Amino acid sequence: MQDSKAPSAANSDFNNDLYAAIDLGSNSFHMIVAREVHGQMQIVDKHKEMVRLRSGLDKNGKINSKAFQTGIDCLERFGQRIKGIPNNNIRAVGTNTLRNAKNSREFLHQAKQVLGHSVQIISGQEEARLIYLGVMLGLPSDNEQRLVMDIGGGSTEYIIGKELENSHLTSTEMGCVSITEAFFANDRITDEAFHQAVAHCRQILRPHRRTLEKKGWDNAIGSSGSIKSIGQILEINSWTESGINLQGMHELSKALIKAGSSRDAKIAGLKEERRPVLIGGLAILVATFIELNIGQMQVSQNALREGLLADTFGRLNKSDARDASVIAMQKWMKVDIEQAQAVAKTAKSLFKQARDTWQLRSDSFDIKRLLKWTCLLHEVGVAISFKRSRHHSAYIIEQADMAGFNQQEKLILSTLALNQRGKYNADSIADIDESVQSLMPYLIILLRLAVRIHRGRDLEDVDPLLRIEDDNQLYLQFAENWLDEHPLTRLDLESEAKLLERLGCQLHIS
């Protein structure tokens, strides 16, 4: 008799075809599970919970204990659903509130324990990119230029693009929760407060208006809970014939102002879960229509989570936005690509030889590719100045908007780039995710060796043999007479041997 607790081969195969995307938004947490069917994504499960993380921020910028625990409890339930799905098929991301909360690190630590998977913080630009991807996947393919807008709890994103290619990404610091808290305290809705909120939102959007208008668009599409809710209310109350328009929103705002609070509003289609933050979302949407002169907006059922799912599927099928970002930065910063590729090739060889001895594996990060990308970008700082170029490289990588990379991945790249030469900065790895922090010194050593080996920039295949004994005795062996023919490299490696002692390693070259 088969053990009921043991997964069958059929169940195991089914789980291998499953993918999961989890969006830890400022107002609600979303989970979507899909199955790969003939190269396409088929949704098999969705789940959403109102967590109201942004509303739980205290005066010190920390998530209070109630909101903190509500979020963790939700993720524990999500963890049950994704259990058994391959780790590489799961992506979980945090957005505005977790970007800004002072205790987000503690939250992420507990989240990983209950979810069984790490949560990565993404930038506003990356959030916008994923939103656009998700929305576009739910629309028919055509040649129209589209403006996509998404109202979150703490931020609102605006994206312009055509089909799957975006041409402009903007993330603004206004969301349905933050605007509601700022202008409608204690659920008191007045005409004056609403006009002040709209004026404030227009002021936030105004610096972006010229760029958005210059790009232009054929039609506007909105996503997220606020926009979907407003669209449903306008339709149910016959305040619109199709989509969302300004006149319909004026009718909704008048009804809310007349009621005096969202709690007392008797409006058909207004769901209880949406009442506390609807007015803030409405102010943002009205401001956007006025500022950008939008006549009508269609509503998308897709959003960030669908984009995250598609992006994960693309990564596993050799279509990774991160590769494109690295190539774009190389061109932008005029990197010597042949030199960068030579360093990357040698680092790859060294990584392969050291992987088993140093246990260079991580469930949360693709460290082999992160090392490769660092090699390809390690000289971006030279475009600013050769002096302190490694510091410039680290700063550029960490601060640049790089599609596909989350904040931790960029921090890993930046830290590696910072430590490519010179004295090892032990403090630089302090903020690296604990799941990969202990591996950072090893990755730094491999990068430093690859950079040193190619100091001569002669681009020849070197491929030295690396043997590691007792974890810290490194024996680097080159082809016969190679070191004699490359005296500068020999001197560099001898200097490196002294610097690596600070990392507790002894380097022997021959």
pLDDT in tens, 158-167: 999 999 899 9
Q: What is the mean pLDDT of residues 204-215?
A: 97
Task: Give tens-digit pLDDT for 89-111.
Answer: 999 999 999 999 999 999 999 99
Q: What is the mean pLDDT of residues 346-371?
A: 94
Q: Which residue has the higher pLDDT, 286 or 424?
A: 286
Positive or negative, the CA dihedral 248, 241, 164, 37 is: positive
Q: How confident is the model at residue 73 (pLDDT cuts 50, 70, 90)?
A: very high
User: Which range among 25-34, 133-142, 214-223, 269-278 shows the weakest confidence by mean pLDDT?
Assistant: 133-142
Rounded Cα distance, 248 and 246, in Å: 5
Mean pLDDT in the chain? 92
Q: How confident is the model at residue 4 (pLDDT cuts 50, 70, 90)?
A: very low
Nearest-5° Cα angle at 401, 351 to 161 = 120
Supply the pLDDT for residue 503.
Answer: 82
Rounded Cα distance, 253 and 244, in Å: 13
Q: Residue 222 is encoded by which pair of tokens?
A: 């909105």
Which superfamily does CATH assign the domain made up of 139-300 to?
Answer: Exopolyphosphatase. Domain 2 (3.30.420.150)
Question: In this prediction, what percent of the chain has a pLDDT beyond 70?
Answer: 97
Supply the pLDDT for residue 13.
Answer: 58
**pLDDT above 50 for 402:** yes
Cβ atoms of 116 and 78 closer than 8 Å = no
Rounded Cα distance, 205 and 201, in Å: 6
Q: What is the mean pLDDT of residues 329-335?
A: 92
**pLDDT above 80 for 8:** no
Cβ atoms of 222 and 150 closer than 8 Å = yes
Q: C-alpha 388: how far from its chain's center?
A: 29
Question: In this prediction, what percent of the chain has a pLDDT beyond 90?
Answer: 79
Rounded Cα distance, 130 and 163, in Å: 13
Cβ atoms of 119 and 111 closer than 8 Å = yes
Supply the pLDDT for residue 11.
Answer: 54
Supply the pLDDT for residue 141.
Answer: 80
Nearest-5° Cα angle at 421, 419 to 424 = 50
Supply the pLDDT for residue 42.
Answer: 87
**pLDDT above 80 for 53:** yes
CATH code matching the domain that covers 330-509, chosen among 3.40.50.300, 3.30.70.1380, 1.10.240.10, 1.10.3210.10 = 1.10.3210.10
Mutual orientation of helices 440-453 and 337-358 as an angle, nearest 10°?
A: 140
Q: Which residues of the chain does CATH 3.30.420.150 include?
A: 139-300
Identify which of 310, 301, 152 has the alpha carbon closest to the alpha carbon of residue 221: 301
Nearest-5° Cα angle at 240, 234 to 242 = 105
Give the burial class of 302: count Cβ atoms within 10 A of its Cβ; 0-12 exposed, 13-18 middle, 19 or more buried. Answer: buried
Task: Give tens-digit pLDDT for 10-52.
Answer: 455 557 789 999 999 999 999 999 998 777 788 999 999 999 9
Beta strand segments in 95-164, E: 120-121, 145-151, 156-162
Rounded Cα distance, 279 and 274, in Å: 9
Q: Which residues of the chain does CATH 1.10.3210.10 include?
A: 330-509
pTM for the predicted model, two decimal places: 0.82
Q: Which residues of the chain does CATH 3.30.420.40 include?
A: 9-123
Mutual orientation of helices 275-292 and 246-259 as an angle, nearest 10°?
A: 140
Q: What is the mean pLDDT of residues 233-242?
A: 95
Which fold does the domain 9-123 belong to in CATH? Nucleotidyltransferase; domain 5 (3.30.420)
Supply the pLDDT for residue 317.
Answer: 73
Rounded Cα distance, 474 and 466, in Å: 7
How many Cα neighbours within 13 Å face the side chain of 325? 20
Cβ atoms of 22 and 38 closer than 8 Å = no
